[in-house]
Chain A
Amino acid sequence: MRIDAHHHLWTLARGDYGWLTPALAPIYRDFDLSDLAPHLSASRIEGTILVQAAPTQAETLFLLDIAEKAELVRGVVGWIDFDARDAVSRIEALAARKLLVGLRPMVQDIADDDWLLRPALAPLLAAMARQGLVFDALVLPRHLTRLIEVVDRHGDLQFVLDHCAKPHLATGDMAEWKEHIAQLAQRPNVVCKLSGLVTEARADWQIADLHPAADHVSACFGPRRLLWGSDWPVVNLAGGYAKWFAASETLLAGLSPDEKAAIFGANAARIYLSRRGRSVP
C-alpha cells in the first residue's frame, strides 16, 4: 500500500494554529480530507499519516476523531505538552487511542535550542517507548547535534526525522547539515522523512535544486529508512502535491521497484503501523 507519511488537516476556526496567519495566503483556509482525496487518487496513495499542526492536545483529539471515522488515515502523530508536570500520565492516557502512532513536540518553534537535552524529558521518552509511540523530530539543522544525543540516550525509542531537518536549500549552505545527517543516520533507531524540501528551496525550484539534499539523505539512510511524505497542504506554498510527487519519482528513479515501494509506503507501515494505528493488509 502506498502511504503519504506526512500531511495535515486544519479548520482555522478552531483557533489554535499560532503559525498559520493570513500572510500564508495559499494555505490560510480550511483543508479537510475531501480536499486531499483527489491528490491521493492521482498518485495512487491509499493510506496516510496525519500529523499535528497546532501545539495543543485539543487539536490531537480533533485529528484522532477524524482518523477514527476515515479508514484512509492509518495513524495520527499528535502533540502533548512535554513541559506539563503530568506529561507522563498524559502520554499514557492519550495512548489509549490506538490510532495515535507518534508524538511531535514542535522543537523548531521552541526558544531554547537545548530543550531536547532537558533531563525532564527522559521519563516522557521512556513512556513513549513503552507505549510504542514514535518520536517525530520537527527540528532545524542547528538542532541535529542535540537530536543525535537524544537518539543515543533512548535506543529503545523510534525517531523519525521530519523534512530532512529542513536543509538550507535556497542558500546552498549545507556542509554542516550534511555532516550531521551522516552522523545521525548511523543511529539505527532513526529514519528520515523525504518531505518538506520544496518549501526550503528557492521559489521557482527545479528538480536539480532538490538533488543535493535528496541524494544525501538517500545515501545516508538508504531506501529502507526513508519515508515519503507530501507535507500537504504546506506543499501548496511551493508548487503543490502533484509537482512534489512527480519530482520525488524522478529523484528516486535510480532505485529498484522494491526500494521505491518501500519509500512510498512499506517503510511508513513498518515504522508507524506495526504496533499501533490501522495495520496495513
Chain B
Amino acid sequence: MNPVSALPRRQLGRTGLSVSILGFGTAPLGDLFVRIPDEVAVATVERAFALGINLLDTSPLYGRGLAEHRCGTALRRVERQDIVLCTKVGRWMDPFQVPDDASGFVGGQPHRAVFDYSYDGTMRSVEQSLLRLGTDHLDLLLIHDVDVWTHGRDAIEQRFREAMEGAYVALDRLRREGVVAGIGVGVNEADMCVRFAKAGSFDTMLLAGRYSLLEQPALAEFLPLAQQQGIGVMLGGVFNSGILATGAVDGAKYNYRDAPPEILDQVARIERVCAAHNTALPTAALHFALGHPAVASLVLGGQTPEEVERNVAALSSKVPAALWRDLKAEHLLDAAAPVPVSN
C-alpha cells in the first residue's frame, strides 16, 4: 500500500511548504462524541500518512491534549520532516483542575482547558504542545477559535484585541526564531479571517464550514484577499459537519447540529443533480472545495483507518464539468464560484 503519488500536493501560500490536497484533522482523536482506543487512533494517523497525506492538523483543545499525544506517537514512527505539523494556541491545560466544558470531547485528558490569548499564555500553550507532540518545532501554528461562534458577539472584540496584542505577537516571534514556519488563524467565520488578514501578517488560515458545496460566504471577500496576500488557505468542514457526506438523511448534521428543513431540502436538490451525473455527493463536495485557487488543502477528520481510505477514494473519482454547469443553472451554486478544471 503506497499510493503516495495518488494524492497531489499544493504550495501553501507563501509558506514554502507543500501540502497534500487532503489533510488529516484530529478532532476525532480527542474522543469527540465517542471514545476511540489508542491503537485505533494511532493506526488512523499512520494510515493517513501511508496514503500520502502529509498535513497533520491538531489542537490542544482536541481531548484537552489527548489528540496531540496520539499524534506524537504516530509522528515518532515517521520522519519528522516528511510531515507538515499544524497545531493551535488559545487554550492551555491546567493539570490541577478537572474539565469544566461541554465541548463534546467525552474522553480525553483529565485537565481543564483555560482560554488564554495572551503572550504568556500562548508561549505556555506552545511549550505544552511541543512536549505532547515530541518535537522541537511546528510547521504551522494557528490562533484557535477567535470567532463569534465560540465567544459570542459581546466578547469577540475583546478576544480579537487580546489575540492581536498577545498571541499574534508571540507567534510572530516564534516565526522569526524558526520555531514555526507559518502562522495563521483557525476559525469558523470568513469575516474573522478577513479581519485578521488586514490586522496582521499571516501565512495561512484554516476556515471551517464557510466554503463548501452548500454555502460559499468566503467567496466574496476572504478568498480573493487570501490570494492577493499569499495566504495559503486550508478548509475544514467541507461536509458542513456531515450533511454533504451523508446526504439529506434523517439526523444529518449541519454546523455541529441536526440540519434544519431548508438545509435538508437544498442538499436533496444538490444530490439529485449529482446523481444525474453519476457523481457521489461527497466526491462533488471535495472537488468543489479544491476548485478555488486560494485553497491548498482540505482538512478532513477520521475515526478509523477505513474512514481515511474512503475520503481519499472519494477524491480519486472524476467529476464531469457538466455537473458544475447544472448546479449553477439551478442556482444551487454561486455563479461566481470557480469550479475544478482538471476533470
What is the interface of chain A, defined by CB distance below 8 A to chain B? 11, 13-16, 56-58, 61-62, 65, 81, 84, 86, 90, 93, 96
B260 at the interface (CB under 8 A from A): no
Contacts of B164 in A (CB 8 A): 16, 56, 58
Q: Is B198 an interface residue (CB 8 A)?
A: yes
**Is there a chain A Cβ closer than 8 Å to B318's Cβ?**
no
Q: How far is the CA of A94 from the CA of B127 in the complex (A)?
A: 20
By the criterion CB–CB under 8 Å, are B199 and A16 in contact? yes
Apart from A14-B199, A58-B169, A84-B119, 17 more pairs, CB < 8 Å: A15-B198, A16-B164, A56-B164, A57-B165, A57-B169, A58-B165, A58-B200, A61-B168, A61-B169, A61-B172, A62-B201, A86-B119, A90-B119, A90-B169, A93-B169, A96-B173, A96-B176
Known: A14-B198, A14-B199, A15-B199. A56 touches B173 (CB 8 A): no
Question: When chains A and B are docked, how far (Å) is the Cα of A11 from the Cα of B119?
Answer: 24
Is B169 a contact of A86 with CB atoms below 8 Å?
A: no
**How many residue pairs bridge A and B at CB < 8 Å?**
37
Bound Cα distance from A81 to B119, whole angstroms: 12
Count B interface residues, CB 8 Å. Answer: 14
A61 contacts B198, CB within 8 Å?
A: no
B330 within 8 A of A: no
The complex places the Cα of A90 from the Cα of B173 at a distance, in Å, of 10
Residue in A56, A58, A65, A90 with the greatest tally of chain B CB atoms within 10 Å: A58
B10 at the interface (CB under 8 A from A): no
Cα of A276 to Cα of B198 in the assembled complex, Å: 29
Given A15-B195, A90-B119, CB of A81 within 8 Å of CB of B201: no
Q: In the bound complex, do residue A81 and residue B165 qualify as a contact, i.e. CB atoms below 8 Å apart?
A: yes
User: Does B120 reach chain A (CB closer than 8 Å)?
Assistant: yes
* Cα of A222 to Cα of B255 in the assembled complex, Å: 68
Residues of B within 8 A of A11 (CB): 198
Q: Nearest chain-A residue to B201 (Cβ)?
A: A65
Cβ of A13 and Cβ of B200 under 8 Å apart? no
- Minimum CB–CB distance from B99 to chain A (whole Å) comes to 27
A58 & B168 in contact (Cβ 8 Å cutoff):
yes
Among all A-B residue pairs, the 8 with the closest Cβ atoms: A13-B198, A58-B164, A57-B169, A14-B199, A61-B172, A58-B200, A93-B173, A14-B198
When the two chains form their complex, are residues B200 and A61 in contact, meaning their CB atoms are under 8 A apart? yes
A90 to B166, CA, bound (A): 10
Q: Can you list 8 pairs linking A and B with CB atoms under 8 Å apart?
A: A11-B198, A15-B195, A15-B198, A15-B199, A16-B199, A58-B168, A58-B169, A61-B169
Distance in angstroms between the alpha carbons of A15 and B201 in the assembled complex: 14
CB-CB under 8 A for A56 and B165, given A15-B195, A96-B176: yes
A13 to B198 Cα, complex, angstroms: 6
Q: Which residue of A lies closest to B173 (CB)?
A: A93
CB distance from A120 to the nearest CB of B (A): 17
- Specify the chain A residue showing the minimal Cβ separation from B195: A15
**Which residues of chain A are within 8 angstroms of B198 by Cβ–Cβ distance?**
11, 13-15
* Residue from B119, B120, B195, B201 in contact with A61 in the complex, judged by beta carbons closer than 8 Å: B201
How far apart sit A62 and B119, CA to CA, in the bound complex (Å)?
Answer: 17
Task: List the B side residues contacting A58 at CB < 8 Å.
Answer: 164-165, 168-169, 199-200
In the assembly, what is the distance between CA of A14 and CA of B120, in Å?
24
Q: Which residues from B are CB-within-8-Å of A84? A: 119
Q: How far is the CB of A248 from chain B (nearest CB, A)?
A: 35
Determine the distance from Cα of A160 to Cα of B278 in the docked complex, in whole angstroms: 73
Cα–Cα, bound, A62→B200 (Å) = 7
Bound form: Cα–Cα A62–B198 in Å: 11
What A residues does B168 contact at CB under 8 A? 58, 61
CB distance from A124 to the nearest CB of B (A): 15
In the bound complex, what is the Cα–Cα distance between A250 and B198 (angstroms)? Answer: 42
Q: How far is the CB of B27 from chain A (nearest CB, A)?
A: 29
Interface set, chain B 124-142, CB cutoff 8 A to A: none
Bound-complex Cα distance A58 to B168 (A): 7
Which residues on the B side are within 8 Å of A13 (C-beta)? Answer: 198
By a CB distance below 8 angstroms, the chain B residues around A86 are: 119-120
Residues of A within 8 A of B172 (CB): 61
List residues of chain A with CB within 8 A of the CB of B169: 57-58, 61, 90, 93
Question: Shortest distance in angstroms between B13's beta carbon and chain A's nearest beta carbon?
Answer: 16
A57 partner residues in chain B, CB cutoff 8 A: 165, 169
- Once the chains are docked, how many angstroms separate the CA of A65 from the CA of B199? 13
* Complex-state Cα separation, A16 to B164, whole angstroms: 10
B169: nearest chain-A partner, CB-CB: A57
Greatest chain A CB density within 10 A among B164, B168, B195 is at B164
Complexed CA–CA distance, A56 and B168 (Å): 11
Q: How far is the CA of A137 from the CA of B166 in the complex (A)?
A: 24
